[in-house]
Structure 1
Amino acid sequence: MPTSTDGSRASDGSVRTGWLARAGAGFAATALLVWRRLKKQPVSLGYALILLVLALTTGILQGPPRWVRLWFGTGYESVIDGGHWWSPVTSVFLVDNLAELLLALLTTLVVLGYAEHLLGSVRTVIAFLATAILGTGVGLLLQDAGVASGEMWSRGVSELWALDPFTPIFGTIMAASSFAGPLWRRRIRVFTLVVALVLVLYSGQPSDFYRLLGALAGLALGAVFHPRRIDLTWRRSSHRETRTLLASVLGILAVGPVITIFSGTRFGLLAPLGLLLTQDVPSVTDVVDRCLLGNITRQCVHALTLERVAGVGPVLVSLLPLLTLLVAAFGILRGRRFAAWLAIVVNTGMAVLGAWYYGLLPISGQPYVWHWRSFQYFEVAVVLVVSVLVPLATAVLIAVNLRRFPVRSRPGRLRRFFLTTVVSFLALASAYVIGGLALSDRFTPAVTLVDLVSDVPERFIPVGFLRLERLSFLPTDWASTMLYQWVGPVFWVIVIIGAIQCMRSTVAGGRSDDAARLRALLSTGGGGSLAYMTTWEGNSLWFNASGSTAIAYRVETGVAITTTEPIGPVEDAARAIADFAIMCDDHGWIPVFYSLHGSWQATFARMGWQTMGIGEETILRPRTWDTTGKKWQDIRSSINRAERAGVRAEWTSYRALPVLESVQISEISELWVQEKELPELGFTLGGLDELRDPAVRLMLAIDGSGVVHAVTSWLPSYRDGRVIGWTLDFMRRRPDSMNGVMEFLIAQTAQRMSEEPEIEFLSLSAAPLAQTGSGDGENRASSLASRFIDFLGRSLEPVYGFRSLLAFKRKFQPEFHPLFMAYPDPVALPAIGLALARAYLPALSVREALAFARGLA
């Protein structure tokens, strides 16, 4: 036994020692990698060391002493009054406190380091110093003009001294954006400018103003460093990238008021929550005595606001709407249309409430705001107008891009959310009025029914909107305080929970487990090679009564278009098609079965439906894959060219990609989208969102330097739980990649699948609206519907190249399998054509449609 015990201990010790050795080796490897990266950015590394050394020297916790701030900090008094002309440069090497030091070090090493990677060290130094001087210098000139003219903000901040390392960092990254690709160029500029603008609006310190000007100076300097041809046309972005930008802007604006809370001084135009941290709350009696008599001085308004926010409830009712916007931002990122509408409604509501309570609407009027004779009152009016315009502009921006959010919630869940919101508001408002009447003597002064009813809206809106609203009464004990403060937070919690549940229901007209039921059917087989497209978000799902068959569809302009054929046993399909058509008729929709294979032709012929060809699927057989012979010369040349260029093919999944490779894929996609004159296609053509499915595989073309030259994605087809085939979906390449890179990727995929005996086919999918013309000949040519499809295909060919894509796929000597569309009534063809256009181009605006139509003339 002792031997065993000693042996166990020895074993435990060796395991522990081995784990520590592996952990130490991993840490050492990571540290070495970081150090090699830092050595490539000497400017940012040197600046970070200077910040750290000066912080340790002058005071790392509370920042530099007063004499250092006076001599080396910048600001109006420092430069204009004190003549410290050097301070715009010296101030960027000092920080205010430990928290700012840590943030500055991180931003320097990451953001400034990335800028140095793009610009090079010499240009980084130039951009750093130039934007520091220009941002602060121009800001001081404007501030001097404001002080001379009596402008309120300039005079209010004239005594503040700025220590700010972020002005040159913002300016340098903006200058570096000119050297970035289109994806990161847009992201850098949007994020940097939005963050700088939010800081100005919600904090409003001189350093925030200098930072915004520094960013604009960096943008101009980047144009000097890297001149580009001036292009006044809008360069479109993919749907996902647009949603990413909108979600980021909404999230930053929602977090803005929190900046006010943590700001030492609050001079921003949108700082209504700045008083939340103030603990000097006057007594209820003092506030009522001084302010109910018409005293509307600034001190009285200040005291009223403090009393309004005295407690947890008012803080929550001010912050929960912001949390609602953050929830909406997350939904917008995921393409949820409900989230977009939620953001529009909340922002519009904030704008309307601001206009009402700030006296900008004539019917509500706060006459003491509009004394135009005084420049000071004019500035107050500007502050209030901006407070209204910011959320209103955000709502308009999201509404303009509403078509980019294809994922709809189930109608039942939407109705439930609406009813829950309305009922909860009415119930809580009634509880407040009834409870207030029961506790009327516990308010000061005692309240009446009219007082309580008129006060109901103020219980549900952020306190910041009530800065200029007269206070009628206040609670005096715990019971009246609970009633007074907590009806609003309870309402917003209900809204947030309901919104989250509504955004989780992404499949219209079904159950919450429909997605899992669909994947279970897919795993058993059925649905053909295109079946996996039914899992994409934006599809609605219908199941027959037994649950054995599923049909994925989208409703556009009153037409229900299926994504592909029914999924399930063939023997149940005919009845399922009839039941689906009945369901569509009950809803007033026109049923259209799209992307069907030839085996379904007889089924619809028996039903008396019309059919027409809409494309041809190209199929490869990996078991017989061979590239010998003259017909394969182009494919062999592409493979040899890739080998000479050091480009390899990598079979992987999106989740397994390193961060740098996933970013490159996003950039390739953006470059591809920007080449098109019309928006990115959808429906049966996947985008970046569809790559993220763990069952989807990618084949990448990567060179020895880790540069991704092209990407293809492959959708699985199952039988009895096994993958028996792959279908090509996503195809994008860099504009400067080698010729034949796509041929190389497809050939490598086919070669790989030929080594897996269970794989029966590779589908190169179908080019929408393009056919070889070998179909039904004379009947096809005489068909009105076919002529329409031909016209639509010819019209979109210059932009999307469907027919060129079909010609490309013919290089692989595939089998051609016609695809057709079935519909019940030829009279509905115009409506079906419009629905198909909306399905493929959900983000097509009226202006783009007219411009495209003019191009066809």
Structure 2
Amino acid sequence: MLRLPATVSVVVLVLAAGVAGQGLWTPTSSQPWWDDVSYGLPAFAAGQWWTPLTGTFLVVAPIVYVPTLLGFVGMGYLEWRRGWRVALAFFGAGQLTAVFGAAVFLWAGSAFPWPWAIELAATRDVGPSGGTMACLAACAGLFSSPWRQRIWILIFGYAVVGFLFIGTLADVEHLIAVLLVLAVTRSFRVRRASVRERRLLAFAISLSLGVIQILGLVVATYGPFGQTSPFRGPWVDVLVDATLIVFVSNGLRRGRRWAWVITVGVALLNVVLAALYLLVRAVAPLVAADLGLDESNVAIASSLLWLSFIVYLVAARGAFSSKRRRDLRGAGDHSPSADDARQLVRREGGSSLSWMATWEGTQYLRTSAGIVPYQKHLGVAIALADPLGPADGARDSVLEFVTAAERDAVVPCFFSAGSSTRAATPAGWRSLVIADDTIVDLPGLTFTGKAWGHVRTALNRAEREGVAFRLSTMADEPWGVRQQMRAISDSWVGDKDLPEMRFTLGTLHEAEDPEVRIALAVSAAGDVEGFLSWLPIYAPGGRVRGWTLDLMRRREGGFAPVMEFLIGASAAAFAEEGADIMSLSGAPLAHQPADDEGQIARLMAQLGSVLEPVYGFSSLHRFKQKFRPRYEPIYLLYRDEGDLARIGPALVRAFLPDASLRQYAAAGLDMVRHG
């Protein structure tokens, strides 16, 4: 009550009037005082100018109280966001404008031989729906893009369809209230919507038009163009339209020019045919009856929707120019290669994950400032980590990648990006922390104190048991050692229901890179107890400033603290070489969300719990905490929540490109078992 005084007060007045006038259980229209309180053109003609006030707080029938009270949700939300004065202003102005505007419209329409307008001009009504509809329309402007455009389309579509196909006095009032708010707030601007959003709206509108035309044939309608009976009308026209809509709708979503051209052609054909129907009915009514054009009211009403759609398509025409391509098109004539990415990382430096951009399966977009590595899966372009190139060019690279993806009708996102890329994304983009990069600072590193006891224990035990440590590369190791490494890795993979994960997680193939270092733990007998792979982290100018942990493999039943030993010994060796940092990478889906990170972050944490039996992300994260790292957030960056339904499956495909349905099913059963 304290937060929504205006909304609660109006609702109380409506309920109180319902009790006093018995409208909560008896139709108000059947009361003897109906003509004294209801508004409409007859009331104004009789000089009853008070009726807009009295009629606002009454409801025509008991069942109508349900939608009436639900309509106040919009007023409540508007008051919550903008205050009681704004909410009351929109409610009052919307209600009065809707009531008087409908009366003026019907007064003018009834002057012509227009049966629908003449009938409505003699109609009275009650209810606050004009005001609540105005508040609901005003709420659309409170949302950020792209939800603002989506909500506006829904509200405006509801009002127009109600006016054209249902055609009651209330529907006329609803449309006038929505048009009032649209004119006052000017919060719906097609040209300010993104390319992707304009395509998505065209896709949704085209499907909606098909559904509306079909429903108009199977249900009775009574709108401005006359009354129709169920299952009578231009079935051939509707069938052709529906078929073409199904054919071109996905092309509109993907921004294809041919789909835009066909849709505009279909819309123009509908408008021209409707004009011909009206002309024949006006000039030769008998001929129109013989041709069955007296049942063309649905087609004529639909033509106005098609006309509005033409206006939208013309305004948004720039969004429909994409052509089918395998790679995104960027600056320059040729797409970069993995060697180009390597050279750029060495020259300009990169993040702890930048070397992953050189892996097989990565595609590259040349930008004016550098290179964006990405993979395309299921219509989603997933940029890997941060753009490559100078730090001051990150914003340009991000914007050019987003533009190229939207031009080619794919969903852009950045996975495992850092804070600098997050700051470079366009306004309105969302971010989600998906992991925490665990960074160990190497200068001055000593394994002293209680916190490093586990590392000292592992190092001392290795010395006692004759387990040796060495840093090497795969190419420098003898054939026998490489075979042991492959056997250990194959054994680890064989224990999983799903194959090795890819994308940001490497395999032995990536470890064969001569710039990737291998940390080996070898027993006195020559057995490989375990091994790690380390990816280089370059500083500008070509200096290696650190190393990123990738592979972690151990021999089953071997030296127990082998991972603590390998990581601790690697840290000591890197520190001695003068490296600045050592990244233990981030465990996916192991981030614990804070209270202010939102529901999606909490859902990601729950997903990590479900996947824990299969991949042990949380266990890995807890293991890395032993090395006292500092944390830097790693983000998934995306346009809005509507993209997550496509990004999720695309990430699954990126991480598990070779998994089969049987393997997914087996992993699912394993999750259920561990419940």
Report the TM-score, using the length of structure 2 for normalisation.
0.49
Higher-helix-fraction structure: 1
